[in-house]
A and B are shown apart, each in its own frame.
Chain A
Protein backbone atom coordinates (compact mmCIF):
# COMPACT_ATOMS: atom_id res chain seq x y z
CA UNK A 1 0.00 0.00 0.00
CA UNK A 2 0.85 3.68 -0.08
CA UNK A 3 2.98 5.27 2.64
CA UNK A 4 3.14 9.03 3.22
CA UNK A 5 5.77 10.75 5.35
CA UNK A 6 5.40 14.37 6.43
CA UNK A 7 8.00 16.82 7.78
CA UNK A 8 8.45 18.70 9.97
CA UNK A 9 6.10 17.61 12.75
CA UNK A 10 6.15 21.11 14.25
CA UNK A 11 6.98 24.43 12.63
CA UNK A 12 7.09 27.92 14.12
CA UNK A 13 7.19 30.89 11.78
CA UNK A 14 7.27 34.63 12.38
CA UNK A 15 4.14 36.36 11.17
CA UNK A 16 4.61 37.55 7.61
CA UNK A 17 7.26 34.95 6.79
CA UNK A 18 6.72 31.89 4.61
CA UNK A 19 6.09 28.32 5.78
CA UNK A 20 6.90 25.14 3.86
CA UNK A 21 5.71 21.64 4.71
CA UNK A 22 6.99 18.62 2.79
CA UNK A 23 5.58 15.16 2.14
CA UNK A 24 6.97 12.12 0.39
CA UNK A 25 4.99 9.18 -0.95
CA UNK A 26 6.06 5.66 -1.76
CA UNK A 27 3.93 4.56 -4.72
CA UNK A 28 4.72 6.27 -8.01
CA UNK A 29 1.21 5.46 -9.26
CA UNK A 30 -0.39 7.89 -6.76
CA UNK A 31 -2.14 10.62 -8.71
CA UNK A 32 -4.03 12.85 -6.27
CA UNK A 33 -2.54 14.89 -3.43
CA UNK A 34 -4.77 17.00 -1.14
CA UNK A 35 -3.80 19.18 1.79
CA UNK A 36 -6.05 19.63 4.82
CA UNK A 37 -6.00 22.21 7.61
CA UNK A 38 -7.33 21.23 11.02
CA UNK A 39 -7.88 23.74 13.80
CA UNK A 40 -8.02 22.52 17.38
CA UNK A 41 -11.07 20.32 17.98
CA UNK A 42 -12.44 20.95 14.48
CA UNK A 43 -12.80 18.90 11.32
CA UNK A 44 -10.05 18.81 8.68
CA UNK A 45 -10.79 21.28 5.89
CA UNK A 46 -9.51 20.84 2.35
CA UNK A 47 -7.37 23.87 1.47
CA UNK A 48 -5.75 22.86 -1.81
CA UNK A 49 -5.15 19.77 -3.92
CA UNK A 50 -3.10 18.80 -6.93
CA UNK A 51 -3.23 16.02 -9.47
CA UNK A 52 -0.27 14.23 -10.98
CA UNK A 53 -0.60 15.89 -14.37
CA UNK A 54 0.14 19.31 -12.80
CA UNK A 55 3.42 20.50 -11.30
CA UNK A 56 2.17 23.47 -9.30
CA UNK A 57 -1.09 25.00 -8.16
CA UNK A 58 -1.73 28.31 -6.38
CA UNK A 59 -4.65 29.76 -4.47
CA UNK A 60 -3.92 33.21 -3.08
CA UNK A 61 -1.28 32.75 -0.34
CA UNK A 62 -1.22 28.96 -0.64
CA UNK A 63 0.60 26.90 -3.23
CA UNK A 64 1.38 23.23 -3.70
CA UNK A 65 4.23 21.83 -5.78
CA UNK A 66 4.62 18.25 -6.97
CA UNK A 67 7.82 16.48 -8.02
CA UNK A 68 6.79 13.12 -9.45
CA UNK A 69 10.34 12.01 -10.12
CA UNK A 70 11.33 12.45 -6.50
CA UNK A 71 7.88 11.45 -5.24
CA UNK A 72 7.41 14.44 -3.03
CA UNK A 73 5.02 17.36 -2.78
CA UNK A 74 5.08 20.50 -0.68
CA UNK A 75 2.72 23.08 0.76
CA UNK A 76 3.85 26.69 0.67
CA UNK A 77 2.13 29.41 2.69
CA UNK A 78 3.32 32.96 2.07
CA UNK A 79 2.76 36.09 4.17
CA UNK A 80 1.66 33.97 7.11
CA UNK A 81 -1.02 35.27 9.47
CA UNK A 82 -2.06 34.21 12.99
CA UNK A 83 -5.12 32.42 11.58
CA UNK A 84 -2.79 30.10 9.67
CA UNK A 85 -1.90 28.45 12.99
CA UNK A 86 -3.27 24.90 12.79
CA UNK A 87 -2.30 21.30 12.04
CA UNK A 88 -1.79 20.58 8.36
CA UNK A 89 -2.11 17.11 6.84
CA UNK A 90 -0.99 15.93 3.44
CA UNK A 91 -2.44 12.86 1.76
CA UNK A 92 -2.00 10.75 -1.34
CA UNK A 93 -4.41 8.61 -3.33
CA UNK A 94 -3.83 5.74 -5.74
CA UNK A 95 -6.16 5.37 -8.71
CA UNK A 96 -8.49 2.42 -8.10
CA UNK A 97 -11.47 2.60 -10.48
CA UNK A 98 -13.78 4.43 -8.10
CA UNK A 99 -12.46 2.68 -5.03
CA UNK A 100 -9.87 5.29 -4.11
CA UNK A 101 -8.83 5.92 -0.54
CA UNK A 102 -6.49 8.50 0.96
CA UNK A 103 -3.33 7.76 2.94
CA UNK A 104 -2.52 10.62 5.31
CA UNK A 105 0.72 11.97 6.66
CA UNK A 106 1.10 12.37 10.41
CA UNK A 107 0.55 16.13 10.37
CA UNK A 108 2.52 19.35 10.94
CA UNK A 109 1.60 21.70 13.75
CA UNK A 110 2.19 25.20 12.40
CA UNK A 111 2.44 28.07 14.88
CA UNK A 112 2.56 31.65 13.66
CA UNK A 113 4.43 33.92 16.07
CA UNK A 114 2.96 37.44 16.18
Chain B
Protein backbone atom coordinates (compact mmCIF):
# COMPACT_ATOMS: atom_id res chain seq x y z
CA UNK B 1 0.00 0.00 0.00
CA UNK B 2 3.01 2.29 -0.15
CA UNK B 3 2.07 2.92 -3.77
CA UNK B 4 -1.01 4.95 -2.84
CA UNK B 5 -0.48 8.59 -1.98
CA UNK B 6 -2.92 11.24 -0.80
CA UNK B 7 -2.43 14.96 -0.51
CA UNK B 8 -2.58 17.14 1.36
CA UNK B 9 -2.29 15.51 4.77
CA UNK B 10 -4.38 18.30 6.33
CA UNK B 11 -6.84 20.58 4.51
CA UNK B 12 -8.80 23.53 5.79
CA UNK B 13 -12.01 24.59 4.12
CA UNK B 14 -13.81 27.86 4.46
CA UNK B 15 -17.59 27.96 4.35
CA UNK B 16 -18.91 27.94 0.79
CA UNK B 17 -15.60 26.76 -0.66
CA UNK B 18 -15.00 23.70 -2.83
CA UNK B 19 -11.85 21.76 -2.06
CA UNK B 20 -10.19 18.88 -3.90
CA UNK B 21 -8.38 15.95 -2.33
CA UNK B 22 -5.78 14.15 -4.37
CA UNK B 23 -5.31 10.38 -4.64
CA UNK B 24 -2.65 8.75 -6.81
CA UNK B 25 -1.58 5.12 -7.13
CA UNK B 26 1.25 3.45 -9.03
CA UNK B 27 0.09 -0.11 -8.38
CA UNK B 28 -1.65 -0.47 -11.74
CA UNK B 29 -4.91 -1.20 -9.94
CA UNK B 30 -8.07 -0.77 -11.96
CA UNK B 31 -10.43 0.07 -9.10
CA UNK B 32 -10.25 3.05 -6.77
CA UNK B 33 -12.44 4.15 -3.87
CA UNK B 34 -13.11 7.09 -1.57
CA UNK B 35 -14.23 6.62 2.04
CA UNK B 36 -15.17 9.00 4.79
CA UNK B 37 -14.31 8.16 8.40
CA UNK B 38 -15.81 10.08 11.31
CA UNK B 39 -14.40 9.81 14.86
CA UNK B 40 -15.21 6.49 16.43
CA UNK B 41 -17.00 5.26 13.35
CA UNK B 42 -16.40 2.91 10.49
CA UNK B 43 -15.65 3.63 6.85
CA UNK B 44 -18.45 4.85 4.63
CA UNK B 45 -18.15 4.66 0.86
CA UNK B 46 -18.48 7.95 -1.03
CA UNK B 47 -17.62 7.03 -4.64
CA UNK B 48 -15.84 4.25 -6.45
CA UNK B 49 -14.48 3.66 -9.92
CA UNK B 50 -13.73 0.36 -11.60
CA UNK B 51 -12.32 1.76 -14.85
CA UNK B 52 -11.19 5.04 -16.35
CA UNK B 53 -13.96 7.49 -17.22
CA UNK B 54 -16.51 5.59 -15.16
CA UNK B 55 -17.52 5.87 -11.50
CA UNK B 56 -20.46 5.04 -9.25
CA UNK B 57 -22.00 6.64 -6.20
CA UNK B 58 -21.46 4.96 -2.88
CA UNK B 59 -23.59 5.25 0.23
CA UNK B 60 -22.94 8.94 1.01
CA UNK B 61 -22.22 10.65 -2.35
CA UNK B 62 -24.26 13.81 -1.74
CA UNK B 63 -22.07 16.90 -1.62
CA UNK B 64 -19.11 15.17 -3.27
CA UNK B 65 -17.88 14.75 -6.83
CA UNK B 66 -15.12 12.73 -8.48
CA UNK B 67 -13.40 12.22 -11.80
CA UNK B 68 -11.35 9.36 -13.24
CA UNK B 69 -9.51 10.67 -16.27
CA UNK B 70 -6.42 8.55 -15.65
CA UNK B 71 -5.99 5.08 -14.20
CA UNK B 72 -3.54 6.40 -11.61
CA UNK B 73 -5.63 9.28 -10.31
CA UNK B 74 -9.02 9.60 -8.58
CA UNK B 75 -9.49 13.10 -7.10
CA UNK B 76 -12.37 13.88 -4.77
CA UNK B 77 -14.00 17.30 -4.61
CA UNK B 78 -15.86 18.26 -1.45
CA UNK B 79 -18.39 20.84 -2.60
CA UNK B 80 -20.08 23.61 -0.67
CA UNK B 81 -23.21 21.45 -0.66
CA UNK B 82 -21.53 19.13 1.87
CA UNK B 83 -22.57 20.85 5.10
CA UNK B 84 -20.59 18.69 7.49
CA UNK B 85 -17.31 17.89 5.74
CA UNK B 86 -15.06 17.57 8.79
CA UNK B 87 -13.73 14.01 8.65
CA UNK B 88 -10.79 11.79 7.76
CA UNK B 89 -10.89 10.91 4.05
CA UNK B 90 -9.32 7.68 2.86
CA UNK B 91 -8.61 6.65 -0.70
CA UNK B 92 -8.12 3.01 -1.62
CA UNK B 93 -7.29 0.97 -4.69
CA UNK B 94 -7.84 -2.70 -5.26
CA UNK B 95 -6.72 -5.80 -7.05
CA UNK B 96 -9.75 -8.09 -7.22
CA UNK B 97 -11.59 -7.59 -3.90
CA UNK B 98 -8.54 -6.73 -1.79
CA UNK B 99 -8.34 -3.04 -1.03
CA UNK B 100 -5.24 -1.10 0.02
CA UNK B 101 -5.52 2.32 1.60
CA UNK B 102 -3.67 5.59 1.25
CA UNK B 103 -2.50 7.57 4.30
CA UNK B 104 -5.60 9.79 4.39
CA UNK B 105 -6.44 13.48 4.36
CA UNK B 106 -7.91 15.17 7.40
CA UNK B 107 -10.36 17.89 6.37
CA UNK B 108 -11.23 20.62 8.83
CA UNK B 109 -13.65 23.50 8.49
CA UNK B 110 -12.58 27.01 9.46
Contacts and interface: CB of A to CB of B under 8 A. Distances in A.
B63 interface: no
A44 B90 contact: yes
Contacts of B45: 101-102
A93 B102 contact: no
Given A98-B30, A99-B56, 15 more contacts: A6-B42, A34-B97, A34-B99, A36-B101, A43-B90, A43-B101, A43-B102, A46-B98, A46-B100, A89-B42, A100-B97, A101-B58, A102-B97, A102-B99, A105-B42
A44 B43 contact: yes
A28 interface: no
Interface string A73-105: 000000000000000010001000011111011
A103 B33 CA distance: 12
A53 to B, nearest CB: 13
Nearest to B91: A43
Contacts of A105: 42
Contacts of B41: 106-107
Contacts of B33: 101
Contacts of B56: 99
Contacts of B48: 101
When A and B form their complex, which 9 residue pairs have the shortest distance between CB atoms, in order from nearest? A43-B101, A106-B42, A32-B97, A104-B42, A104-B43, A93-B97, A100-B97, A44-B101, A43-B103
A42 B97 CA distance: 21
Interface string B37-68: 00011111100101000001010000000000
Of A34, A44, A98, A99, most buried by chain B (CB within 10 Å of CB) is A44
A105 B41 CA distance: 9
B1 to A, nearest CB: 7
Nearest to A92: B97
A99 B48 CA distance: 9
Contact of B98 (A34, A43, A106): A34
B98 A49 contact: yes
Contacts of B58: 101
A45 B42 contact: no
